[in-house]
């Protein structure tokens, strides 16, 4: 059992926050496929029924984990220029979603219909509306930005971050000889290059958003 969890258990009764903290740790260790309420109970040093008192099912627990992450996203207020507010909002979602890499694939495809998630979605969509795009373009740009974020997060947590997927691989010598463009590009695909690549794509998105807004308002 993790020592920090054990100390909390000794000091007092089981809490939702304690369960959520332990759940993230177990998911990171076991992966989503290997997670179970039984393993979570073992990590907490309690019976599974004690967890069900706080979370009736694993789905309820996962919802709470998503709510907790999404609620942690910080959106700047209107005193910050519009472009910077969007930039920070997208950076914040990426930061929060990749904080627990093993849980990230669940977060990015989760349909956020709980009240805490809806509140955050409402504020983010409101950012686009505040940018002067109008209802339809605001909605489409929000979804386009989401596509970019989802792809980036999945790639950084479950894609290239995991290394090769193929059973049949090639040596570095074969790669250099037969696939030289892949070999050259590969130097920029690793974890050390994630931030620079993300920022490059983000700037392109923001440039295009402002171009669309200006051309729409000019017509």
Q: What is the pLDDT of residues 21-30, one digit of tens each?
A: 999 999 999 9
Task: Say if domain 3-56 classifies as CATH 1.10.3470.
Answer: no
Check pLDDT > 80 for residue 4: no
Q: Check residue 2 and give its pLDDT.
A: 57
Q: Check residue 219 and give its pLDDT.
A: 67
User: Burial level of 2, CB count in 10 A (0-12/13-18/19+)?
Assistant: middle
For residues 32 and 163, the model is more confident at 32
Q: Cα 160 vs. chain centroid, distance in angstroms? A: 16
Check pLDDT > 70 for residue 12: no
The token pair that represents 117 in the structure block: 């998630």
The model's pLDDT over 71-128, given as tens digits with 9 standing for 90+, comes to: 999 999 999 999 999 999 999 999 999 999 999 999 999 998 999 999 999 999 999 9
Check pLDDT > 90 for residue 10: no
The CATH label, of 3.30.465.10, 2.130.10.10, 1.10.357.10, 1.10.10.10, for the domain at 76-218 is: 1.10.357.10
The model's pLDDT over 114-148, given as tens digits with 9 standing for 90+, comes to: 999 999 999 999 999 999 899 999 999 999 999 99
Check pLDDT > 70 for residue 1: no
Lowest model confidence (mean pLDDT) among 11-15, 158-162, 178-182: 11-15
**Alpha helix positions (H), the chain:** 3-11, 16-34, 37-44, 48-52, 58-71, 82-97, 104-109, 115-130, 134-158, 172-178, 180-186, 194-218
Domain chopping of the chain, boundaries: 3-56, 76-218
Q: Check residue 13 and give its pLDDT.
A: 83
Check pLDDT > 50 for residue 11: no
Q: Are 54 and 14 in contact (CB under 8 A)?
A: yes
């Amino acid at each position: 059992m993790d020592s920090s969890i054990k100390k909390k258990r000794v000091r007092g009764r089981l809490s939702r926050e304690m369960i959520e903290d332990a759940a993230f740790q177990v998911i990171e260790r076991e992966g989503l496929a290997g997670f179970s309420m039984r393993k979570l109970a073992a990590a907490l040093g309690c019976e599974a029924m004690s967890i069900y008192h706080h979370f009736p099912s694993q789905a309820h627990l996962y919802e709470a984990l998503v709510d907790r992450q999404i609620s942690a996203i910080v959106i700047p207020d209107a005193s910050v220029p519009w472009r910077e507010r969007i930039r920070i909002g997208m950076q914040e979602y990426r930061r929060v979603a990749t904080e627990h890499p093993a849980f990230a694939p669940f977060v990015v495809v989760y349909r956020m219909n709980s009240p805490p998630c809806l509140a955050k979605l409402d504020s983010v969509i409101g950012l686009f509306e505040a940018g002067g795009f109008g209802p339809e373009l605001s909605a489409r740009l929000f979804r386009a930005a989401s596509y970019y974020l989802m792809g980036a997060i999945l790639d950084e947590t479950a894609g290239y971050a995991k290394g090769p997927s193929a059973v049949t691989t090639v040596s570095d010598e074969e790669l250099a000889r037969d696939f030289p463009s892949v070999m050259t590009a590969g130097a920029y695909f690793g974890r050390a290059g994630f931030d620079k690549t993300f920022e490059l794509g983000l700037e392109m998105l923001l440039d295009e958003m402002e171009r669309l807004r200006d051309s729409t308002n000019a017509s």
